[in-house]
Structure 1
Amino acid sequence: MAKSNAKKQREKLVREGKRNPENGRSPFAQFDLRTQRTKTKKDHLHRTKHKNRDSRQWENDSFCLPIFF
């Protein structure tokens, strides 16, 4: 693979004993922040964590009326 002109200039600065500009880069410059991950099966299952998940629970429509004498 060919070297870019910028990389050649950086290597030349290091050979001449000057400071390498790569050392001044932020550690976050090496992260690829464009990557997106798709939802896993577990993520899809837990999407409705606190919603009414079991609708059959209320289908009975029965109620209890306590009568105290």
Structure 2
Amino acid sequence: MAKSKALKKRQKLVREGRLNPVASRSPFSQLDLRTRKTKTKKDHLYRTKHKNRPPYNRENDSFYFAN
């Protein structure tokens, strides 16, 4: 696998006796802090709440005639 330019620069710094930037990173940078959960029944229902609905039914509309 090829080495990236950034990795080559880090390795050169270590060879020259300087500090590796990876060592000063926060330990939280490696953690996945997202909370994952499976979808509930309600989530599945809300996903298709307004899709492919028939248009508003107008069978019982009233008429207004102004004279």
TM-score after normalising by structure 2: 0.48
Larger helix proportion of the pair: 1
TM-score after normalising by structure 1: 0.47
